[in-house]
Structures are given as C-alpha cells and as structure tokens.
Amino acid sequence: MAVQQELKITGMTCKHCAVTVEKALRGVKGVREASVSFPEGTARVISENEFPIQFLLEAVQKAGYGARVSPTTEPSTTPIQAVPLHLAIIGSGSAAFACAIRAVEGGARVTMIEGGTLGGTCVNVGCVPSKILIRQAQMAQDQRAHPFLGLRHCEPIIDRKALVKQQQERVLALREAKYAHVLTSHPDISFVSGYARFADTHTLLVEKNDGTRQAIQADRFLIAVGARPQVPAIAGLAETPYWTSTEALVAEELPRHLLVLGGSVVALELAQAFRRLGSEVTILARSTLLSKEDPALGHGLQTALENEGVQIHTHTVPRSVRYEEGVFTLECGSGTIHGDRLLVATGRIANTQDLGLAEIGVETLPNGAIPVNERMQSNVPHIYAAGDCTSLPQFVYVAAAGGTRAAVNLLGGNARLDLSVMPAVVFTDPQVATVGLDEQQARKQGLDVESRTLGLDNVPRALANFNTQGFIKLVAEKGSGKLVGAQILAAEGGEIVQAAALALRGGLTIQDLADQLFPYLTMVEGLKLCAQTFTKDVSQLSCCAG
C-alpha cells in the first residue's frame, strides 16, 4: 500500500536545489516517487510502505538542506525528529558567516566563537575602510589634477581626522547591519566571545573574554580565523612604531613622508592614497611591482605612480631600520632613506598559531595556512577551513564562497569551489584587473597561445574621459581562438573584468567577443575592440564599428 508524506524544505535557493533534494529523497530505500517545489519549499514523497520519517529527514540533511514534517499534513508514521548536527565555527568574518547562515538553513545548530572584533578583516580593517580611503584620495586628486580645461584646479584642504571619522562610522554601520544584525536574526547561531583552542578532535576549550572558560563539543568544525599582516625579519624593525595597514587606515594625521615596504596590492593601494592626500611617499619593493602578474601590469602601474610623484625603489630590501626623534632611518644597499612614518605591507600570515592544530593532526603550511581541498576539507575529515587562514587566494569573495561550500559539505553534501575563473582587482588608479591565465602561465600549462594588447587611446570612452592611461590585453589559444585570460590596466578595470570572466566561464572565443554587442560609450567596449585586433587594425574602424 502506497503511503504519501509531505515535508517542508529549508535552505533551497534555486530550482537546481529542488532537483538535488528530489534526487536525495528518491535514493531512500522504499521511496517510489518524490517531487519538490522550490517556490513552495515543500516535498511530496510516495513510498511503498510506512517507515520512520527520520529516514527522509536525514536524506535531505545529508544533501545539505533542512527538512521537517509539514504542519499541514498528517504523516503516515509517527515523526522522529533527527538530532540537529552541531557545527562549531572559529572566527566571525565573511567565511564564518557564510558557513553559519547556510548551515542553519540546512538544519544544523551552530556555535560561533570570536575573540576579537565581530566581522573579521574585510569590514573592519580591510576592504571597506581601505576602499573608502582610496575614494577619498581620488576626490582629492581630481580637484588638483583633473584633465578638463575650463574647470579650475585647486589644492584640496585635507581634514584627515574628519575623513577617518566618516570612514569608521560607515565601518560600524556595516558591521552592525551585516554581522551583528544577522546574529540576532538567526537564533540557531550561538555566539561565544573568546579564544578557542582544540583540546581534542571534537572539543574546543574557549578562554572567554569575561575571564571564564568553556568547553564546546561539536560534531564538525570550520576554522575561519583569517590572517594578519606579516612583518619581515629586518634588524631593528620590531623596536620601532611602524604601521601595518590596520594602523594606517585609522591614522588621524597625515605623514610628511611615508615609507612603504612592499610591492603588492596593499602596499600600492595605500601608497597612492596617501600620496594623493598630500604625503610624500617612497615605496621599497623586494622585487618589481606586482611581481606575480604579467610584467606589463607592474611596469604600467609604476609609470602611473611615478607620474604622481611617488618614489619607487625596486629590488630593494632594507638591511636595518631605526627610529629616533620622530624619524625612521632605513639602511639600504643603495643608500639611506628617511621618513616620519613607515608602513609595512609585505604580505599576511594565517592566525592559526594558537589553535592547537598540530596536537590534533591538522596539517599547516610554514606560513600557518591550512591546506584544503576543493570541498574546503583539511586532512582531518570532519575539520574544514575557509578564508584567509587557508592555502586559497586571500579575497573576501573567495572566503564567502568557501564558507558556503564548506557548510554544504559539513552537512553531508558535495559542493566544490572552482577557482578556474577568479577575477581579481587592485584598486589603484589605474586599476589592475585580471582573470584567467596570462601568457607565461598559459605556456607553463602547455597551451599554445597568442595575445593582443589594446592601448586605451583606441577606446572611445577613454578618449571622452581624457584618460587613456593603460591597456587591455587578451590571451587566446591559437587555432581554436578560445579565450584563456585577460589583463587590464585601466581607470575602471574592475568594472571591465567581470565581462571577461563571464566570457571565460562560457568558453567564448575571441571571435565571439568581437561579434558581441557592447554599449557605446563604455570602457567595457574595450574588450570587443581588443578582440577585434586579432583579425584587423581597429585604428582604421569608425566609432562603434561592428
């Protein structure tokens, strides 16, 4: 005799989720038919005989979703509520919250432990305050150096204290809206203020901020403790009042002369921002600027920064640092450099040193990062990690995506993080935006590729903006013409690169891009124009020629 039962499903975000739940229910022995409605959030199950509804609930949970008996339907058997999975999350940044929200939607109970400031790096000391600072500096630069005749230039009056106040008010507002409010909206997430350490593979010992201690046992764990600025071992540096990005972002006085150690993202973004706010700036880079990227990007950005008055010393590492009477003195191979402030921006290191990972067998790299697979799993099967404390690229969107996928897998699913198409942006001016492979990377993977580079003086929007600084470069497979990568140096590079990312994801060819309709006048039209250079001379085309 057939038996019909109805369930309420939580955690679905699209029709594909409904298909996944249907497949999980049909896999339960004895189920004849299962249909799931994404809009209604319900599942109807027809089985051959009566059996405990717990079998159905557990099947849905293993697929990464939540389930309960529908209150509008009398079940044919006595419902047995499955005991919720208990997940402990160490950290409270983007990866942690993405995981927690998805896990409780899937029926889990979550305990989140944070010893520092709620919200992690991005909202507090990373993306949000730095992009506000960069925008403030751009406004100042536009006042003194915009390209339009008939608009009088002026030297901006900078009130750094007021700028920091506005910046930090926005940081606080976003932390409250995107983190604190989310906690109050999810009663299944318990928050503990304190520092956690593994006592064994299923127990955390938390030194709480109120001075007490608490043992927390859980079925599974996510480590999402982020990273902190790494300080190089330079003689005398530790004894000086140097800045990291954390201090630089909230400094209420502008340096007269800021010295910057580092040649990558954070160093370059902040160096340009402080220069535009009025400080003298000198950069000391161990190698070249953006040394891991296509060399043309670093070279082009160096020219732009030097044109704004930034002094740049490449292949330079100080032998020693000292601080006396308000002056930093850096002894370098090429001579002595002085400044009143020193910013150390030479990379970041994972915050895993006090978690007791070695004692429970969780592997870490020399920089403390936890190696994870595509499922965000460490070498200990029930312990996962996501965000800047892992071996993955340190971008907040990678952290959030990793947290969501970790939650699905912690609940028994099989979600994987695919980073084959990962756009990245350096928020200098011009911006550096990349996706896919550059020529050197492609050839290392055995691909036979060709490339074209389009100067922005061929892009009508850049001409209209009177700002043709930069280029767009596309890399494609020979023969097939399939796009494999894009490198962009442009004032709005971050707004261009996602179109290239979508083209990569869709497997488009150079000809596909050349044939697409792009709105005129836009900077993203440069992708079409660059694609056209593979077969024609775009300087001989009329405006918006198809």
Q: Which amino acid is at 469?
A: Q
* Percentage of the chain lying above the pLDDT 70 cut: 96
Predicted pLDDT at 545: 58
pLDDT of residue 205: 98
- Residues facing residue 228 across a β-bridge: 349
Model pLDDT, residue 1: 55
Fold: same for 237-346 and 424-540: no
- The alpha-helical segments, DSSP class H, found in 115-264 are 120-125, 127-145, 160-175, 181-185, 245-250
What pLDDT score was predicted for residue 77? 42
Architecture of the domain whose range is 3-69: 2-Layer Sandwich (3.30)
Residues in contact with 326: Cβ distance below 8 Å, sequence separation at least 6, in sequence order: 340
Sequence-ordered strand ranges (E) for 209-346: 213-217, 220-223, 227-229, 257-261, 280-284, 311-313, 320-324, 327-332, 335-339, 341-344
pLDDT value of residue 544: 63
Full pLDDT tens readout for the chain, 546 residues: 567 888 889 878 777 788 888 888 888 888 878 889 888 889 988 876 666 777 888 888 888 888 887 765 444 443 434 468 999 999 999 999 999 999 999 999 999 999 999 999 999 999 999 999 999 999 999 999 999 999 999 999 999 999 999 999 999 999 999 999 999 999 999 999 999 999 999 999 999 999 999 999 999 999 999 999 999 999 999 999 999 999 999 999 999 999 999 999 999 999 999 999 999 999 999 999 999 999 999 999 999 999 999 999 999 999 999 999 999 999 999 899 999 999 999 999 999 999 999 999 999 999 999 999 999 999 999 999 999 999 999 999 999 999 999 999 999 899 999 999 999 999 999 999 999 999 999 999 999 999 999 999 999 999 999 999 999 999 999 999 999 999 999 999 999 999 999 999 999 999 999 999 999 999 999 999 999 999 998 877 777 656
Q: Report the C-alpha dihedral over residues 104, 110, 113, 119, rounded to 10 degrees.
A: 0
Global pTM reads 0.85
pLDDT in tens, 58-107: 888 888 888 887 765 444 443 434 468 999 999 999 999 999 999 999 99
Q: How many CB atoms lie within 10 A of CB 513?
A: 24
Report how many helices (DSSP H) and strands (DSSP E) the chain contains, helices first. 17, 25
Task: Sketch the domain layout of the chain as residue ranges.
Answer: 3-69, 87-229+349-410, 237-346, 424-540
- Sign, CA dihedral 252-256-261-262, equals positive
Cis peptide before 255 (omega within 30 of 0): no
CA distance 335 to 314: 13
Q: Cα–Cα distance between 88 and 202 in angstroms, integer?
A: 10
**Domain 424-540 belongs in CATH node 3.30.465.10:** no
For 99-136, write each residue's pLDDT tens digit.
999 999 999 999 999 999 999 999 999 999 999 999 99
Question: CATH number of the domain at 87-229+349-410, please?
Answer: 3.50.50.60
Residues annotated catalytic, as ranges: 12, 14, 17, 65, 122, 127, 543-544
CB-CB contact of 89 with 112 (8 Å): yes
Smallest CA-to-CA distance from 121 within 95, 101, 91, 93 is with 93
The predicted structure's pLDDT at residue 60: 87
The single residue listed with the structure tokens 């739940």 is: 21
Q: How far is CA 414 from CA 84, 287, 377, 409, in A?
A: 19, 41, 11, 5
DSSP string, 363-389: ---TTSPBP--TT-B-SSTTEEE-STT
SS3 at position 525: helix
CATH of domain 237-346: 3.50.50.60
Nearest CA to 63 among 412, 310, 333? Answer: 412
